[in-house]
Amino acid sequence: MSVHEFALPDVGEGLTEAAIVQWHVAVGDTVEHNQTLVEIETAKSLVELPSPVAGTVRELRVSEGETVDVGTVILVMSVNADAQAGEGAPVPVACDAACDGSASATETSGATDSEPVTSEAAVSAAAPAPAPEPASDEGSGSVLVGYGTQAAPRSRRRARSSGRSPGGLGGNAQGLGSQAAKRNALNAPADQLSASRQRRNLAPGNLGRLTPAAKAFPIIAKPPIRKLARDLGVDLSDVEATGLAGETTRDDVLRHAKQASVFKNLETPAPEPEAAREEVIPVRGVRKAIANAMVSSMFTAPHVTLFVDVDATRTMEFVKRLKESPDFAGVKVSPLLIVAKAVMWALRRNPTVNASWSDEAYTLKRYVNLGIAAATPRGLLVPNIKDAHEMGLKELAEAIAELTLRARDGKTQPAEQQGGTFTITNIGVFGMDSGTPILNPGEVGILALGTIKDKPWVVDGELRVRKVTTLTASFDHRLVDGDVASRFLADVAQIVEEPAMLLD
């Protein structure tokens, strides 16, 4: 028996401390390799730390809510040296006709993200079990903070047979029958699939477990949709599919995750009858980082802010056409997408705005890491899309949606909040017309998009009702002069007024 001291690791560049948010283990608990030990909050994001070894928890040295430095021992474990040495040995699992068929079907469903699973998988339980595949010496991949996975993970998955069964064509015939069943399920009418999904979702006590009615049909979803579902913690078997032939779309996953509204994480809390008149809350984590960054930015960079009202009628029409286009099916499209493309077009024409400043020199960036400010329960986060200037409209729309959703869910990684070159903040989603945004540290420009609403507007000498918004931009006046700032904002406004210019 040996003792393992678990020290707080460095989970991001330049981070020196973190707060303990929640322990997932207690003293006396038996912990498996890579099991989540604790959730911590850094100045960048929430991070779950997995265990590098298997053992028993002896001591928790830090309480929830405490902030400790990187390298501090926060947990002590007892590790059985013999068990640890044999941890990676492959353990063959025998299964005969007595195995539960429903369990086999469930295990088979995790074999791959791209192959649909049908009820035929349960039939394979009655067939003779082939020899288990030899375990690989390589790990299955990296985890969040770099401990890796076990050298030879145990598997309960039945090995795939590469040849004929001893009984002649029986094994292959069974496989052909299973493939035929899959094809029939994929070709089933959409209304039949929808009815099956409804039966599954309405099944009593259904908490993510497939019902017999649902097992008869596969979950049809592309690999990117499956990845998005995993990232958001969504069980695809619970999602009501609306795509052609019962396919699960991106909007289906987002709708089920209840992330469509920007106010999801800003709900009004219930009143506490016994609450104190005042509450002292320590400044730490994201709030401390935001405070330091804003003070540093405001009192080191001389801000200059410009405003312009824009007729966004054509932008709204363009957004509507994109939503109706088959090429953008399942993709969230909003005016923010057009503004983001307009910003990158304007940055190319005014490169000084896409730069960073130091007292000795300034650096022009030939790339755009576009920051998107996101309101979260932990405060304002500004993750950025790397090399956004290389993306088309569809790819950029997907990147914006996924980045903001991860930020609101607290899953943004530190690297996603570093290296930004320009930031957009969409205050219009909160009904605000305009504001004076503060520069993100290290950048010399930021743009705020106000709400888009009907207003009287003069068109060709006549008063008409148009969709109007206000664009506000702040700049570091040490580098961005008034003429450059004005030309940049005018270029953005020009694209918002006539988005067809993006096609030139």
Q: Could you tell me the pLDDT band of residue 151, with boundaries at 50, 70 and 90?
A: very low
Selection from 304, 309, 342, 238 nearest residue 484 by Cα? 304
pLDDT of res. 82: 57
**Portion of the chain with pLDDT greater than 90, in percent:** 31
pLDDT of res. 106: 38
Inform me whether the pLDDT recorded for 93 exceeds 80. Answer: no
pLDDT of res. 465: 94
Q: Which two tokens stand for residue 275?
A: 């609450």
Query: What topology is assigned to 2-85 in CATH?
Result: OB fold (Dihydrolipoamide Acetyltransferase, E2P) (2.40.50)
pLDDT of res. 407: 81
**What is the tens place of the pLDDT at every residue in 309-332?**
999 999 999 999 999 998 888 888
Q: Using an 8 Å Cβ cutoff, are 412 and 406 in contact? A: yes
Selection from 249, 258, 232, 255 nearest residue 406 by Cα? 232
Inform me whether the pLDDT recorded for 181 exceeds 60. Answer: no
CATH match of 287-503 with 1.10.3720.10: no
pLDDT of res. 457: 95
Higher pLDDT, 45 or 243: 243
Q: Using an 8 Å Cβ cutoff, are 120 and 57 in contact? A: no
pLDDT of res. 385: 94
Give the residue range(s) of CATH 3.30.559.10 domains in the chain: 287-503
Q: Could you tell me the pLDDT band of residue 294, with boundaries at 50, 70 and 90?
A: confident
DSSP 240: -
What is the crossing angle of helices 482-497 and 313-324, to 10°?
Answer: 50
pTM: 0.53
Half-sphere exposure of 333 (CA within 13 A, CB side): 23
Inform me whether the pLDDT recorded for 308 exceeds 50. Answer: yes
Inform me whether the pLDDT recorded for 88 exceeds 70. Answer: no
Q: Using an 8 Å Cβ cutoff, are 101 and 125 in contact? A: yes
Residues 205 and 228: their CA atoms lie apart, in Å, by: 25
Q: Could you tell me the pLDDT band of residue 176, with boundaries at 50, 70 and 90?
A: very low
Pairing of the two strands 55-60 and 30-31: antiparallel
Mean pLDDT across the chain: 74
Give the residue range(s) of CATH 2.40.50.100 domains in the chain: 2-85
Cβ burial 285-321 (10 Å sphere, 16+ → b, else e): bbbbbbeebeeebeeebeeebeebebbbbbbbebbee
**What is the tens place of the pLDDT at every residue in 326-358?**
888 888 899 999 999 999 999 999 999 999 998
Q: Could you tell me the pLDDT band of residue 13, with boundaries at 50, 70 and 90?
A: low
Cβ burial 323-343 (10 Å sphere, 16+ → b, else e): eeeeebebbbbbbbbbbbbbb
Residues 309 and 17: their CA atoms lie apart, in Å, by: 44
Inform me whether the pLDDT recorded for 6 exceeds 60. Answer: yes
Inform me whether the pLDDT recorded for 156 exceeds 80. Answer: no
Handedness of CA 146, 152, 157, 163 (dihedral sign): positive
Higher pLDDT, 178 or 284: 284
**What is the tens place of the pLDDT at every residue in 446-488?**
999 999 999 999 999 999 999 999 999 999 999 999 999 999 9
Q: Using an 8 Å Cβ cutoff, are 337 and 391 in contact? A: no
* Residues catalogued as catalytic: 477
**20-24, 186-190, 250-254, 446-450: range with highest mean pLDDT:** 446-450
